[in-house]
Structure 1
Amino acid sequence: MASSSETTIPTSNDIPTSELSSHHIPDNEGEVHFTPPLYRQRYMFTLDIIERDPTLYSLLDIGCGSCQLLTIGKYRNPHIQLAAAVDIVRFELDEACFRLKPLPVEYMVFRRETPLHMYVLHSDATKICNCFHHFDVVTLIEVIEHLYLNDLENLVTHVFAYIRPRLVIVTTPNADFNVLFSTMICGQFRHADHKFEFTRQEFNLWAQKIALTYGYLVEFTGVGEAPLNEQHRNIGTCTQIAIFYRQEINNEISLTSNEFFKRLSYCKQHEIISLIDYPHGIKQITKLDEQVRYILEMYRLMAEDKARHGDDNHDTYPLTVNCQTLINHPRLLHFKLVLEDLKQIIESIGYKMLDNDRIILSEDPPMHSREDYHENENDLCLTSKSNETIEHKHQSNQPEESWD
């Protein structure tokens, strides 16, 4: 690990009060942009590493902040069935609980195949205890640079000597990359709360010493590539990453949620902010039936309204829709339906079909008023748009980029 002479560590008195905030430097200040955003590259890389080993059962995210990692990953890795998020900043954990709480739609659409017990804990991970022993994975995403070196040494001892996970993933800023940032509003570091930032050489020496001391193998990588030009080819990535693998693998019993809760109840160092159990175990065919029924009902109401107005040639009964239209519907595409399977579902939910593979939506004109149909159509459009937004929000909803 870099000594204090190699890495200057300011105290809170060295930083102006106006800079003591949790604001992260936006990427446009330094004229550096990342696609996908750097925060997301870090989280997705971490989840990819965890996904490689399906025998991993439990995950401890130290310095979780507002729990973006677990928010992204809670439906990603079904083999992770116990997760704990730990942070010393209470208001961050309140936001984390809001992020992690399942939405009502997740009980109908987004389901896990396996249980997931999620603990949100207000705690100081630099203080050693045995509560987290037998956790399989520990993640430290942009955490170590926020600690003074003596606190960092305590955290390393806690993680590698007491918890002894099979896998540890550590990410931290690469100080060599800072030459690309034309403006550093927090002085020599990317964030006002950073106590230091390792160069690649310092980070490698620090991680290799840990691996040698505690019996781990370590690999180095990173995310956030530098521009492709001769001038910057040797500065590395914006975020540097160390992946530790424990060399000694014993046939250990997986830590259960009940055992973990019992440990926490006897320990005074941790405050349980929230315990969340996620919905799971619903068969896909049930979801598919519900989706098909909902879509057909939507088509029926809209077709009846158009028939009443004389729109789109829907002025004759029976009103029908082609099977291929359902197969190609955005809500059903991922099921990869074939015609014969769809016909069986149509029959099971009580709809009739014509010989030309058209589904009968309505055989007789409805008796409702025109105003009723306008209200139904508006409600359905709003519901459809809302559900489509929820289904695709992980593709389009990206917070503002930050370096840290």
Structure 2
Amino acid sequence: MDPIFSPPLHRQRHQFVIDFVKRNKPKKVVDLGCSDCSLLQKLKFHREIELLVGVDIDGANIKKKMHGLAPMSTDYLQPSYDQLRIELYQGSVTQEDARLRGFDLVTSIELIEHLTLADVERFSEVVFGYMTPVAVIVSTPNSEFNPLFPRPAGFRHSDHKFEWTRAEFKTWALKVCLEYGYEVEFTGVGQAPPGQEERVGFCSQIGVFHWLGGRQDCNMFFGDDAEDVFSYTLLYSINYPSLHDNNILQRVLVSEVLYWAEKLKRNWIEEKTGERDDTYTLYPAEGEGEECLRASERHMEMEDRQTACGAEMKNPGEHQESELFWTNGEGQQESCKLHRCVSVPLAVLWSCCPKLSVLSGSLRNLRHVLMDNPEVKLSQDGSAVLLNDQEQDLEEEEKDHDDLEDSGYAVCSHSADPEEDWERNV
């Protein structure tokens, strides 16, 4: 049957649902008779949907296909703000289940023809009377189209209990609207050959039902008096990674900070040495690198270079073992064995990476997240990220220090074996 259609008929039915989702942006969608979950696998990419549910009486078939609905690696590597939960249930569409009430969209694609006429009545009661979704899409074969197929007379599938004409489908649909407060529009997919469209109609006829109460009234319809019935068996559930999850949000924030801090450190080293280390090359989005350098220059022009690390630099003089001195916030000098680091101010990171401002909301929030994270070392006042600088020899320290006035960052020194616990003091 399908080869005479381009694209195949089942894809046209699925595309009809997808186009409806794009236009109406439902947040809660359930596919009744989800079978091999092929429609759900397409709908999961439309992230306006927050809850995507499939129901089928054949639990074994669901179990074969359900893992295809799992998040992909990119969903974990680049989580978005969108929230998506997928649930799959084994159960009959003639049974009520409170977990499926109040959805924005219910789809029933080539399902009702597999039910007895008595079960179709029960299907109507459950879907339109009990579940009361905002919208329902029902597709079913149009028997008037059947003579165009090169096959013996009969139903299109051995499991079909009936196949309606357009008039029979319209009679059922209008009866549903009258009983449960819906309106319906008729359409379909699978065009007839030229000149026969009016005579036979679409191959698959579709009714799109809209509840007259509307979305807001639908949400108010369910009160505490509603009886909680749980007749379906949950076979699969998964929450997609989302930035609404605080743990994921913090992980992404830390990853962005470390990426950009390392990138800016490399830019500074290349500027100082005139050499490029391709081993550590980072590839920013187009135009980001220049903007970062401009932002860092603007920031450091307004700052005192000597205190950019939260520690005042002192001339080591002829001190043995090439030690440097720094003063803490209370003005006390402490000695440490030379271990250089590059200080990247958080304000510069904030200016260079718009994603950080979007994710954290404020520079204060960003600092708070980083102070509690062991992967990031901050200066004592929490104003800058400290990165180890082991590319340059220790003998170049005095020469580099003289050039700090022209730099976008400051180089500071702290002990490899400090007397005080830096992380505790931060």
TM-score, normalising length: structure 1: 0.58
Letter in 2 for 1:34: S
1:112–1:278: 8 Å Cα contact kept in structure 2?
Answer: no
Contact 1:59 1:84 (8 Å CA) reproduced: yes
**Cα deviations by residue, 1:30-59 (Å, 9 ceiling, x for unpaired):** xx2322x221221121122133224x3211
Cα 1:71–1:342, aligned 2, differ >3 Å: closer, same or farther?
farther
Residue 382 of structure 1 is matched in structure 2 by none
Query: Structure 2 CA distance, aligned partners of 1:86 and 1:72?
Result: 16
- CA displacement at 1:158 relative to structure 2: 0.6
* Change in CA separation of 1:215 and 1:279 when aligned onto 2, cut-off 3 Å: same
Structure 1 counterpart of 2:236: 274
Name the counterpart of 1:38. 9
1:294-318 per-position Cα deviation (integer Å, ceiling 9, x unaligned) = xxxxxxxxxxxxxxxxxxxxxxx98
Partner of residue 152 from structure 1, selected from 109, 113, 120: 120
> Any conservation in 2 of the 1:87–1:121 contact (CA below 8 Å)?
yes
One-letter amino acid matched to 1:175: S
Partner residue in 1 for 2:213: 248
Give the counterpart letter for 1:340 in structure 2.
G
Instruction: Evaluate the alpha carbon distance shift between residue 150 and residue 44 of structure 1 in structure 2; reply closer, same or farther with a 3 A threshold.
Output: same
Do 2:55 and 2:90's aligned partners in 1 also have CA atoms closer than 8 Å?
A: yes
1:175 aligns with 2:137: no
Matched, 1:104 2:89: no
**Structure 2 residue aligned with 1:213:** 179
Q: Note the C-alpha offset of 1:231.
A: 4.4
The equivalent of 1:340 in structure 2 is: 287
Secondary structure of residue in 2 paired with 1:128: coil
Find out whether 1:137 has 2:99 as its counterpart: no
- Work out whether residues 173 and 238 of structure 1, in 8 Å CA contact, stay in contact via their aligned partners in 2: yes
Amino acid at match of 2:73: P
* 1:217 counterpart SS class: strand
Q: 1:244 to 1:232 in 2, by over 3 A?
A: closer
Change beyond 3 A, Cα 1:340–1:188 = same
Matches within 5 A, 1:259-298: 267-281=229-243
Aligned residues: 266
**Cα offset for 1:83?**
2.1
**219 and 76 in structure 1: CA distance in 2 versus 1, 3 angstrom threshold:** same
CA spacing shift, 1:250–1:43, aligned 2, 3 Å: closer
Higher RCO (C-alpha 8 Å, min separation 6)? 1
Code of the residue aligned with 1:188 in structure 2: it is G
Secondary structure class of the residue paired with 2:103: coil
Q: Deviations over 1:145-178 (max 9, x none)?
A: 1101011110110111111111011011111111
Q: Which residue number in structure 2 is paired with residue 199 of structure 1? A: 165
CA distance in 2, matches of 1:76, 1:250: 20
Mark the runs of 5 or more structure 2 residues left unpaired by the alignment.
Answer: 260-274, 296-426
SS in 1 for 2:241: coil
Amino acid of the structure 1 residue aligned with 2:18: L
- Asked if the contact 1:61–1:85 (Cα under 8 Å) also holds between the matched residues in 2, the reply is yes
Residue 189 of structure 1 aligns with which residue?
A: 155
Contact 1:225–1:236 (Cα < 8 Å) also in 2? yes
Instruction: Please say if residues 96 and 231 of structure 2, whose CA atoms lie closer than 8 Å, have aligned partners that are also in contact.
Output: no
TM-score (norm 2): 0.55
Alpha-carbon offset, residue 87 of structure 1: 0.6
Structure 2 contact 96–230 (Cα < 8 Å) conserved: no
Instruction: Name the SS for the 1:204 alignment partner.
Output: helix
8 Å contact 2:187–2:207 — kept in the other structure? yes
Q: CA shift at 1:243, angstroms?
A: 0.4
Amino acid in the other structure paired with 1:279: P
Q: Which residue of 1 aligns with 2:31?
A: 61
1:235 and 2:200 equivalent?
yes
CA distance in 2, matches of 1:121, 1:345: 50
State whether residues 66 and 96 of structure 1, in contact with CA within 8 Å, keep that contact through their aligned partners in structure 2: yes
Question: 3-state SS of the aligned residue for 2:89?
Answer: strand
Matched residue SS, 1:222: strand
For the 8 Å contact 1:215–1:248, the answer to whether it is kept is yes
- Structure 2 residue 38 is matched with structure 1 residue 76: no
Q: Is the 8 A contact 1:62 1:87 kept in 2?
A: yes
Residue of structure 2 equivalent to 1:27 = 2
- Report the CA distance between 1:342 and its aligned residue: 6.4
Contact 1:175 1:199 in 2 (8 A): yes
Distance 1:250 1:232 in 2: 35
Query: Kindly tell me: are residues 233 and 248 of structure 1, through their superposed partners in 2, closer, same or farther at Cα, counting changes over 3 Å?
Result: closer
Match of 2:410 in 1: none
In 2, are the aligned partners of 1:177 and 1:236 still within 8 Å (CA)?
Answer: yes
Equivalent residues of 1:51, 1:77 under 8 A apart: no
Tell me, yes or no, if the aligned pair for 2:132 and 2:218 is still in contact at 8 Å: no
Q: For 2:135 and 2:39, locate their aligned partners in 1 and report how far apart those are by CA, in whole Å.
A: 16
Query: Does the CA contact (< 8 Å) of 1:173 and 1:198 recur in 2?
Result: yes
